[in-house]
């Protein structure tokens, strides 16, 4: 499967890791940690060095109940970081935004991908036109409402099938606006307008998201459903995240969006090695004392 992002083609033969840099004071996990321009730039290069395949920059928190950020403020956060890395970073850059104007200016500055958590529902025709014009990659995330309202919109009559049908609407909208299917990636939207139980249900049926014949991106990193299962606070959810990442590799998810690229790269490599192995001589391994 190929993902077309501007002048590049990404071949999704292996699981890719998208590393997160939140240039925000209030994101649920690392809010404030990289709000400083220099710290955000340094973290971007560190993520690349840890083995990330894609960098995702966000300047507006999408956590539940987060307040909206005015366009000029969002641009004032993200553009200085983007300008500080664009000529020196080798991996593609994604911008996490629902504002068409922010997406356009970031694409003009060299970004390759728009990560739209509204799935074109809020960003609408203007976002679709921007993506089409730049031939950018577009990630269509499933979400109902806004960060302020989404956790009030968790009533799904048919469970996972409702999520799939709503993603289908986003996908069809993108195609209707003239975006090529090879530009599109879908994301089930873990944590967006979903209870912990609904997130787990989505994970249990991940294979269904391949029906669209587009790459699937999953963003489980440190999210509250992991905390509900493990009882761990945000900063202590790496093992829970690694479990979901490993499971997702076996479910053939093509892209994983994570905070800790260094740790999750090892989880992905091990899971892929096991998944792709056709036969290991375990008896021989034990005879060599490898136990």
Give the domain ranges of the chain.
2-287
The burial class, CB within 10 Å (0-12 / 13-18 / 19+), for 168 is middle
Phi–psi pair at 217, nearest 5 degrees = -110, 140
pLDDT score recorded for residue 278? 61
Is 223 annotated as catalytic?
yes
For tokens 């300047």, what's the residue?
Answer: 59
Residues for the chain: how many in total? 291
Active-site residue among 257, 265, 269, 278? 257
What pLDDT, on the 0 to 100 scale, is given for residue 65? 82
**Residue range 2-287 in CATH 3.20.20.20:** yes
Residue 257 among the catalytic residues: yes
CA 93 – CA 44 distance, rounded (Å): 10
Which of 143, 223, 237, 265 does the annotation list as catalytic? 223
- Give the integer Cα–Cα distance in Å for 254 and 66: 29
- Contacts of residue 278, defined as CB under 8 A and 6 or more positions apart, other chains included, come to none
Helical spans, DSSP H, in 135-195: 160-176
Question: Contact 133/177 with Cβ under 8 angstroms?
Answer: no
d(CA 226, CA 214): 26
Where on the phi/psi map is residue 145: left (φ > 0), alpha (ψ -120 to 50), or beta?
left
Phi, psi of 95 (to 5 degrees): -115, 125
pLDDT tens, the chain, 291 aa long: 899 999 999 999 999 999 999 998 855 555 556 668 899 999 999 999 999 999 999 999 888 888 889 999 999 999 999 999 999 999 999 999 999 999 999 999 999 999 999 999 999 999 999 999 999 999 999 999 999 999 999 999 999 999 999 999 999 999 999 999 999 999 999 999 999 999 999 999 999 999 999 999 999 999 999 999 999 999 999 999 999 999 999 999 999 999 999 999 999 999 999 999 864 444 444 444 444
The distance of Cα 271 from the centroid of its chain, to the nearest Å, equals 19
CA dist., res. 41 & res. 279, Å (int): 44
CB 83 within 8 A of CB 109: yes
What pLDDT is attached to residue 67? 84
pLDDT for 26: 56
The per-residue pLDDT of the chain, averaged, comes to: 92
Half-sphere exposure of residue 9: CA atoms within 13 angstroms, side-chain side: 7
Q: Where are the alpha helices (DSSP H) in 28-99?
A: 37-49, 71-85
Token pair of 203 as six digits: 């994970």
Distance CA 13, CA 5 (A): 16
């Amino acid at each position: 499967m190929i993902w077309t992002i501007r002048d590049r083609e990404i071949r999704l033969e292996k699981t890719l890791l998208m590393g997160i840099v939140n240039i925000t004071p209030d994101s649920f996990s690392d809010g404030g940690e990289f709000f400083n321009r220099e710290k955000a730039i340094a973290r971007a290069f560190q993520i690349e060095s840890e083995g990330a395949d894609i960098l995702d920059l966000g300047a507006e928190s999408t956590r539940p109940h987060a307040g909206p950020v005015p366009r000029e403020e969002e641009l004032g956060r993200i553009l200085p970081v983007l300008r500080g890395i664009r000529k020196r970073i080798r991996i593609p850059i994604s911008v996490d935004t629902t504002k068409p104007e922010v997406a356009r200016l970031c694409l003009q500055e060299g970004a390759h991908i728009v990560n739209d958590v509204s799935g074109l529902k809020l960003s609408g025709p203007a976002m679709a036109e921007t993506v089409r014009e730049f031939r950018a990659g577009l990630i269509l995330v499933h979400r109902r409402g806004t960060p302020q309202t989404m956790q009030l919109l968790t009533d799904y009559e048919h469970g996972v099938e409702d999520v799939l049908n709503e993603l289908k609407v986003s996908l069809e909208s993108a195609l209707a606006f003239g975006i090529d299917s090879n530009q599109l990636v879908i994301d089930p939207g873990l944590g967006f307008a979903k209870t912990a139980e609904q997130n787990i249900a989505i994970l249990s049926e991940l294979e269904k998201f391949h029906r669209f014949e587009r790459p699937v991106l999953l963003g489980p990193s440190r999210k509250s459903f992991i905390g509900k299962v493990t009882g761990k606070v945000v900063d202590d959810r790496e093992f829970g995240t690694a479990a979901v990442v490993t499971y997702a590799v076996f479910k053939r998810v093509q892209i994983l969006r994570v905070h800790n690229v260094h740790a999750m790269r090892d989880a992905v490599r091990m899971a892929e090695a096991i998944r792709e192995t056709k036969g290991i001589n375990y008896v021989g391994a034990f005879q060599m004392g490898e136990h």
